[in-house]
Structure 1
């Protein structure tokens, strides 16, 4: 049974990682970077969206009319998340009790500078960030008995919560080849932080053991507890940024912007799959037993190959009049290559366990359209819509985590407060989406998870 503890712990973290992929709006990417792009449905491949252009197509940095800009802003992410036990009808909604799980505030800081035909830039943006807080008294905190699932177990008083944050720090450059063509590239440092508190029932654990998805020296301790009810993993820090497990890595982008006609631009960019170091941190695994009680074990958790997928963006924009611009982006996110398996390890003085959990995610397609209208000399209005396919199967999600959002509607505004200063703001509504998980590997009872989001972006840009 000790094997169960660690095995399930590992499973917990692994599956949680999957859940993180699912929660962060369209996976591991926010639905647009910067208020200009966000207000136009996240489009940014073919038109200039301020210094945040470096987060999609760095070649478009050269489309700016200024010699340089500085952006200071932030994302405000709010979520409406719930989980429903389809066996009992019980429902729990995420709240904001603790662990800084929402609303989420994330930075948008960048600058660009032109030198002859070159434009250079650097920035710091939240690539993704979200989490849930289900507390300590819902059906998710109930240990189970054998095949009976959540309904038969006793309350454990153990927390179920999560938080994911990915920070992207790009160094960017673009070069104006001629009046029609610009090219660009970025080299990005990435930091990922993950918090997790999750209880896995014995039914889940039994399914994983039976399928041979775990290995390690702790496997010999199986069956040592008299009345196992589940395993709880806690890898969390109650800090604004610090996380239970974290790690650094890198990625990069290549981009091209081409003026097809005097009023029509074509843009193409490709972001490479990230190369992340293992996420590491200290954690506690607690075995829940109906007779012995809770048995905590301290150790180190590793999340291996936690990479952002490669992404291709193709866009076209057309300036219908001096005041009216329309943009269309088509994106392909290559999840299949990035998320075939989730690999997690747990090591302690008592031994170790490694888990390899297949996910078989599908590549994702995203279509976005946006428009902007210069209502006055100082005021610009924006609107947009984007829709994505679902890269994950229902069986690949945890009860703790909802589905990947598929539909966003957006609004935005810019106001020129001075000759060199501009205030930008945008709002995006992610419409509710639900998925149902009935896989024994990921849940002790069929659970439907639902999510909707209201996200805001505020920024001030100074031009020089």
Structure 2
């Protein structure tokens, strides 16, 4: 009877975690660190420069290397976490001296996990967290706005992860994992007339329209701006949403009692197009037509095409010369070039009568394809970290995370300034009891700047981020 009651309790906890975790995945947003990826996952690995492939980094093993669960003693671990990313982003137009500061300076991302290890060495459970994203917010009075309306971006990826790890023997752990990704995007973007004409000519991307809208665009002798606008203003979801699957495999091998190596592969996601739904987006143009200012504003649906999370793979080592000191190093590769060659949007005007602007201007069902070249480079990330058990209750941690800016200057957009390079990390863990402990981490990323030579706009980006995790073992 007792074992059945305990099983029912575990099931109720898992179902509760699933419900809360879905909300977590939907509400998570983040500003870029290693490209769109966070520099570390969990307070333990986050304080050690993100290194976490070859030792037990806590429930965040689901993102680092699920095979590391094989190091655990039998039991169940409940984890609660909060990461707050604090980017400082500005954009400056060098020729005019105009400057805009992003008001998006705090992005909270909660996490929830419940992981059990059986006496036979099998580990399973569920975890939910934000994987990463990008976000900026500029006012309508800044030089980045041509319409007088705010311009902003918010992209988030959240994951529900179901790990299955097995301790083969005292030396080898293996794991497979199924992930479900949820993606959300808001975008309010103005493009000046020169950029619009350039896109129509294939400069920096492409812009093409179905016959009716194409004729309307050709009718402008000069274009002031074009605006793409889809945003629901919600802190929980974005106007455009998508979902799909990915997977992970992992391995750890203890070479000596002191030295362990680990390796993990995270597959590219399969999410398909993200959609706003009917009438969830607006596409607007303004310009000069036969000597007077004319504007077109259409309601419809935007599909964000083939926006996926990239494959990531890497190796790590952990050296533990005693029970007080751990030194860790990871090297991983993020395949951005496979998923961020372009940002492609397809707008389709709805059948609403509001899109019928009069004779010869019935735009219902008309389409526009917009592709902005990104050409992100693959990124190699080196993570180095150390932890020292100062007392029976207190553990101190520090590390560095080293990477290059993945975005070519000529395609840098101030709405997506994912140009951060190096990070410096520190943190601590404190055990209240054998069952209850907390982990804290802070990350500082020095300012990086890059200038788009085509637009003359310089983006500057630095970060100060914090993490807190609470763990209860039962």
Asked if Structure 1 and Structure 2 have the same fold, meaning a TM-score greater than 0.5 normalized by the shorter chain, the answer is yes
1:65 aligns with 2:66: no
**Equivalent runs, 1:4-403 vs 2, <5 Å:** 24-95=32-103, 101-115=104-118, 116-142=120-146, 156-211=147-202, 213-217=206-210, 218-225=213-220, 227-281=222-276, 282-289=280-287, 291-292=292-293, 294-349=295-350, 350=363, 351-403=366-418
Contact 1:401 1:449 in 2 (8 A): no
- Deviation for aligned residue 1:102: 4.5
User: 2: distance between equivalents of 1:38 and 1:293?
Assistant: 52
Contact 1:403 1:434 in 2 (8 A): no
Contact 1:85 1:447 in 2 (8 A): yes
Aligned to 2:459: 449
User: 1: distance between equivalents of 2:105 and 2:60?
Assistant: 24
Q: 1:368 to 1:358 in 2, by over 3 A?
A: same
Query: Which deviates more, 287-296 or 178-187?
Result: 287-296
TM-score w.r.t. the length of structure 2 is 0.85
Higher RCO structure, 1 or 2 (CA under 8 Å, sep 6+): 1
Which blocks of at least 5 consecutive residues in structure 2 are unaligned?
Answer: 1-28, 351-362
RMSD of Structure 2 on Structure 1 (CA): 1.8
- Deviation for aligned residue 1:405: 1.0
Q: Greater Rg, structure 1 or structure 2? A: 2
Which blocks of at least 5 consecutive residues in structure 1 are unaligned?
Answer: 1-20, 96-100, 143-155, 440-444
- Deviation for aligned residue 1:130: 4.0
Aligned to 1:16: none
Q: SS of the counterpart of 2:225?
A: strand
Q: 1:294 to 1:157 in 2, by over 3 A?
A: farther
- Deviation for aligned residue 1:449: 0.5
- Deviation for aligned residue 1:321: 2.4
User: 2: distance between equivalents of 1:294 and 1:417?
Assistant: 64
After superposition, what is the alpha-carbon deviation per residue over 1:38-82, rounded to whole angstroms, capped at 9, x for unaligned?
011001110111111111210001112352211011111111000
TM-score w.r.t. the length of structure 1 is 0.87
Q: SS of the counterpart of 1:205?
A: helix
- Deviation for aligned residue 1:216: 3.5
Q: 1:54 to 1:304 in 2, by over 3 A?
A: same
Contact 1:22 1:401 in 2 (8 A): no
User: 2: distance between equivalents of 1:192 and 1:51?
Assistant: 22
